[in-house]
Amino acid sequence: MSDSQWPRYQVFEQRREGAPHENAGSLHAPDNEIALQMARDIFVRRPTCIDLWVAPAAMIFARSAEQLADPAWREGAPQDSTPGAYRVFAKTRHAGTHQFLGTVEAEGTLSALEQALETFSDTAALVWWIVPDSAFTETDPDDAESLFAPANDKVYRDQADYHTVSLMRNIRHAQAERSSEE
Amino acid sequence: MSYLNISVEDEKQPAGANGTSGDEAAQTAAFEARIERGEKIEPGDWMPAAYRKQLVRMISQHAHSEIVGMLPEGAWITRAPSLRRKMALLAKVQDEAGHGQYLYHAAETLDASREEMIDALLERRAKYSNIFNYPTLSWTDIGVIGWLVDGAAIVNQTMLAKGSYGPYARAMLRICAEESFHKKQGHEQVILMAQGTPEQKAMVQDSIDRWWWPILMMFGPHDSDSPNTPTLMRWGVKTKSNDELRQMFLNQVLPDLEALELTVPDPEMHFDEESGNWIGGEIDWDEFWRVIQGDGPLNADRLAARREAHEEGQWVREALTAYAQREAQAAHAPSTNGASNGAGGAHA
């Protein structure tokens, strides 16, 4: 029995009201519920998150712009027929993260990506992620306050709570005054 | 097989390769061109076996360092001199646990398993930062560790945040943002102690005297003794050399130490007008290699503490797995482990 048998999940965090969910990183967990709890423990120690989603990495269909440039890209895509809602994410900068763009209704994974390319045609994505809606486990709104609000009061975790720059400036100022008096 | 001994054979990528050396050379050239263009390498992408192996080694050792690094500071939580200091230290140690998790998960995206990484640590095949094999003997050590040990780590990590492997670089960005609190809470303590009573100032000076050389060793051997550095720099695993980073750190902290009228235990330390650098004497490399090889003051204690924590957590890991299995069976649904729409995890 080892941790490595646990499946990988991708974690998405929403930093403030109205901001898109974005990929925070990945973790390995035994099930969806524990994955969500672990995501909170690992990724939310600062008041920088108001909502979390987790989804098994195995449920993410990914295609890079490079792959889509091949006219035959559809041949390698999954040909499943699983109608429903799919969430669309895109990474637009190499050093950036995947951001949530919106949801499309589609007949399956392949048609979800085709719709995403059309719906979000002004997004210059380096890599697209298409994930069935049903794959997500999300923060229960009733739990949100108990999960995220405590971080707001922990100001001592914020570097701005330590005034080292002004302390050093005052020390140097006092030294300069002393030496000019001498 | 241990991840420390990954062979090229294990690493052959199925996509588009028939395994001939000509393909390998072409793939490596395309890979290096991507890095040259500033692209990030992502988990499903083709990468040379040596790149994967080096990253797994670096990221897992970095993760071990975060976890072992909780021990020297954790020892002082109950003895913090005020509630503010205690809350800050608790929060810092908790951050280190979180950073260890970011990094283990980043290494896992390279198909290193958690179990193999932990085993390698406990069996002494994997290293962690030497600095955590030294003891914390007084409260002022906590200030000095925050300012100078975390300060040195931030210099290194700021470089790593620009590295070519996406998950590692993104973990580093999060870590650097959180560690500026670690550094500043320590810096503040050192400033206040240096301006305190003669006893307080002597105490903080004693901490610096004991930690100074081990801190400079954190940057690793001289460039001339790091034969892999040129390849690692070409692959964007490192973007600055050990000696460059050590120099950046010296130039960052010496002016403040001087202003605080604190000294470093190096009679040769001086500011070189010509180069604009602070230059000191030679590090005791015999001590560096001795501690790396396991003969530091606390190597055995640190590993014993890790082993105990790992063994005592066994039942929790088993319980979580058993619970997940029971829930999956109760739901008559396939577990997420096997569930796939055939999408595959490339780039995910």
Is residue B148 over pLDDT 60? Answer: yes
In this structure, which amino acid lies at residue A89? Answer: F
CA triple B147-B128-B108, angle to 5 deg: 110
The whole-number pLDDT of residue B78 equals 96
SS3 A24: strand
Test mutation, B95, B316, B347, chain A, max A CBs within 10 A:
B347
What secondary structure does DSSP assign to B199-212, as a single string? HHHHHHHHHHHHHH
Give residue-wise pLDDT tens across range A85-142. Answer: 999 999 999 889 999 999 999 999 999 999 999 999 999 999 999 999 999 999 999 9
Cβ–Cβ under 8 Å, residues A30 and B320: yes
Q: Is B169 in the A-facing interface, judged by CB distances under 8 Å?
A: yes
Range of A137's domain?
3-181
Mean confidence (pLDDT) of chain B: 89
The whole-number pLDDT of residue B281 equals 97
* Closest residue to B348, CB basis, from A41, A62, A167: A62
The whole-number pLDDT of residue B229 equals 82
Q: Do B341 and A41 touch (CB under 8 A)?
A: no
Closest by Cα among A78, A72, A61 to A128: A61
The whole-number pLDDT of residue B333 equals 52
Give residue-wise pLDDT tens across range A148-169. Answer: 998 888 999 999 999 999 999 9
Cβ–Cβ under 8 Å, residues A132 and A83: no
- 134-153 in A: which are within 8 Å (CB) of B? none
d(CA B18, CA B301): 49
- Nearest chain B residue (CA) to A173: B259
The pair of structure tokens assigned to B300 is 């055995």
Q: Do A58 and B91 touch (CB under 8 A)?
A: no
Sign of CA dihedral A42, A48, A51, A55: negative
Is residue B22 over pLDDT 50? Answer: yes
- 1-60 in A: which are within 8 Å (CB) of B? 1-8, 10, 24-34, 41-43, 45-46, 56-60
In this structure, which amino acid lies at residue B231? Answer: T
CB atoms near residue A38 (< 10 Å): 21
Closest CA of chain B from A141, distance in Å: 23
Give residue-wise pLDDT tens across range A10-28. Answer: 999 999 999 999 999 999 9
CB contacts of A84 in chain B (<8 Å) are: none
CB contacts of B191 in chain A (<8 Å) are: 164, 167-168, 171
Is residue B336 over pLDDT 80? Answer: no
Is residue B343 over pLDDT 70? Answer: no
Q: Is A178 in the B-facing interface, judged by CB distances under 8 Å?
A: no
* Closest residue to A60, CB basis, from B195, B317, B345: B345
CATH topology of domain B3-297: Ferritin (1.20.1260)
Between chain A and chain B, how many beta carbons pairs sit less than 8 Å apart?
166
Cβ–Cβ under 8 Å, residues B147 and B234: no
The whole-number pLDDT of residue A86 equals 98
Is residue B315 over pLDDT 50? Answer: yes
* Closest residue to A25, CB basis, from B94, B105, B181: B105
SS3 A27: strand
Q: What percent of chain B has pLDDT over 90?
A: 78
Cβ–Cβ under 8 Å, residues B164 and B237: yes
Cβ–Cβ under 8 Å, residues B34 and B41: yes
Half-sphere exposure of B106 (CA within 13 A, CB side): 31
Q: Is A170 in the B-facing interface, judged by CB distances under 8 Å?
A: no
Q: Do B335 and A4 touch (CB under 8 A)?
A: no
d(CA B31, CA B11): 15
What secondary structure does DSSP assign to B229-260, as a single string? HHHHHHTTS-SS-HHHHHHHHHHHHHHHHHHT
Is residue B122 over pLDDT 70? Answer: yes
Q: Do B347 and A62 touch (CB under 8 A)?
A: yes
CB contacts of B320 in chain A (<8 Å) are: 29-30, 34
Test mutation, A4, A70, A152, A170, chain B, max B CBs within 10 A:
A4
Q: Is B20 in the A-facing interface, judged by CB distances under 8 Å?
A: no
> What's the ipTM?
0.91
List, in sequence order, the alpha helices (H) in B37-113.
49-68, 70-74, 83-108
Cβ–Cβ under 8 Å, residues B142 and B73: yes
d(CA A98, CA A89): 6
**Which positions ≥6 away from A102 have C-beta within 8 Å?**
A87, A88, A119, A120
Domain ranges, ordered by start, for chain B:
3-297
d(CA B40, CA B272): 38
The whole-number pLDDT of residue B14 equals 38
- 107-136 in B: which are within 8 Å (CB) of A? 108-109, 113-116
Is residue B2 over pLDDT 80? Answer: no
* Closest residue to B105, CB basis, from A1, A27, A163: A27
- 96-125 in A: which are within 8 Å (CB) of B? 97, 109
CB contacts of B174 in chain A (<8 Å) are: 24-25, 43
Instruction: Give how many domains chain A has, as a whole number.
Output: 1
The whole-number pLDDT of residue B332 equals 66
Q: Do A2 and B114 touch (CB under 8 A)?
A: yes
Compute the average pLDDT of residues B31-38: 93
Compute the average pLDDT of residues B229-247: 92
Q: Do B341 and A61 touch (CB under 8 A)?
A: yes
In this structure, which amino acid lies at residue B136? Answer: T
SS3 A62: strand
Closest CA of chain B from A116, distance in Å: 16
d(CA A156, CA A150): 12
